[in-house]
Structure 1
Amino acid sequence: MASTSIAADMGQLKETKMKVFFQDYSGGPNPTIVEVTGQPNELLNFKKFGAMFCTDDPITEKFEVSSAQIARGQGLYVTSALDGSNTHVLVSIVFTNEEYKGSTLEIQGSSAQFERVREVAVVGGTGKFRLARGYATFETVHYDAELRYAVIECNLVVLHY
């Protein structure tokens, strides 16, 4: 059995900081988040204990929905606090842009969903983000109740090889 230093095999530890925007549609003909435990065409109930949501949000490099799409935010949210204050987040950022195509960042943890800024751990990654660790902050920077559309700013700080 051969043993080598991970640092020697993987190269130098790098830090990557980036800001991305989740384009979140909970209504209309093509929603990107649905309540798995709810009824079709119902308003989402994020406060209900045990509510589970599946998401596949486009992620853009700028606030505007028309800006370049760089990834998809795919995963689950589960309202995990009896009083509805926390959601457990399990989301993969699956990169589709040329620079990071095929790479992922794995986000997991408890999110105080009604706080202005929510912080969740980055617990892993693949491709260019192999062995990633760090954190992500989420802030809803725009919400249109009529369209049921939100823009969520995500700031990532990630250490990886």
Structure 2
Amino acid sequence: MALNLVPKFTNRSLLLVLVLSMTTFSGIASGSKEFKETNMSMYLHDFISGPNVTDIPVAGVAGKLWTFSQFGSFYVTDNPLTEGPSLHSPAVGRAQGVFVASALDGLSALIVFSVRFTNKEYNGSTIEIQGNSILMEPVRELSVVSGTGKFRFARGYATCEFYSVDTPAGYAVVRLNITVEHR
């Protein structure tokens, strides 16, 4: 009499083996590098008028004035970022992107921008930020959705709060706080 030494597998046992092996391999792959957390603060200088304008309207509703609060107005922006609130503080980089007045009541905007670093420590790296910004809130929170260079695989959040506003000059300083996890 011959013994059958080959184990008999059912569909359930094959499925269990497959799931366990996938879990093991994905755990090995994702555990290869730890994420580190970086917290930073910088100041964004926003010029909506004058010779140093950094926000330009490029589209909007035909026949309507294109403003920050006019639904459908689309702006391109390229703002300087500095270490301190003075425009003459050491440069950190640029905040480059777009925003759209996305609420019918004009109270919020969809914002998408890159923090492009030019300082020594992070030169050439970027952090990608996006979200819905309620314009008159004292602190607005946005998502960090990715990054490059030293911020690869970045995820986290950013807060924006007005530091100072000079309405007649069309100039505002915004404190930008960023908390990210990255490789």
Q: What is the TM-score with the length of structure 1 in the denominator?
A: 0.90
Describe the superposition over 1:124-155 as per-residue Cα deviations: whole angstroms up to 9, x where unpaired: 00000000000000011111122211100011
The aligned counterpart of 2:119 is 97
Describe the superposition over 1:13-65 as per-residue Cα deviations: whole angstroms up to 9, x where unpaired: 10000111001111111211111126xxxx96211100111100000011111
Runs of 4+ in 1 over 6 A off after TM superposition: none
Amino acid of the structure 1 residue aligned with 2:29: S
1:152 aligns with 2:174: yes
The aligned counterpart of 2:16 is none
More strand by share: 1
Structure 2: which 5+ residue stretches go unaligned?
1-25
The aligned counterpart of 2:21 is none
The aligned counterpart of 1:118 is 140
Larger Rg: 2
Aligned match for 2:76, one of 38, 54, 58: 54
Counting only pairs closer than 5 Å after superposition, residues 136-147 of structure 1 correspond to structure 2 as 136-147=158-169
Cα distance between partner residues in 1 of 2:108 and 2:122: 31
Task: Name the % identity.
Answer: 46
Aligned match for 1:5, one of 5, 26, 29: 29
More helix by share: 2
Describe the superposition over 1:99-146 as per-residue Cα deviations: whole angstroms up to 9, x where unpaired: 001100000111111111100000000000000000000011111122
How many correspondences in the alignment?
A: 154
Cα distance between partner residues in 1 of 2:89 and 2:66: 27
Q: Secondary structure of the equivalent of 1:64?
A: coil
Contact 1:34 / 1:44 at 8 angstroms: preserved in 2? no
Aligned match for 1:75, one of 72, 81, 97: 97
Cα distance change, pair 44–152 in 1 and its aligned pair in 2 (3 A):
farther
Describe the superposition over 1:54-103 as per-residue Cα deviations: whole angstroms up to 9, x where unpaired: 10000001111100011100000001111112100100000001100110
Cα distance change, pair 143–160 in 1 and its aligned pair in 2 (3 A):
same
Q: Secondary structure of the equivalent of 2:150?
A: helix
Cα distance between partner residues in 2 of 1:44 and 1:147: 18
Contact 1:26 / 1:44 at 8 angstroms: preserved in 2? no
Higher relative contact order (CA 8 A, sep 6+): 1
Higher mean C-alpha deviation, range 71-80 or range 26-35: 26-35
Q: What is the TM-score with the length of structure 2 in the denominator?
A: 0.79
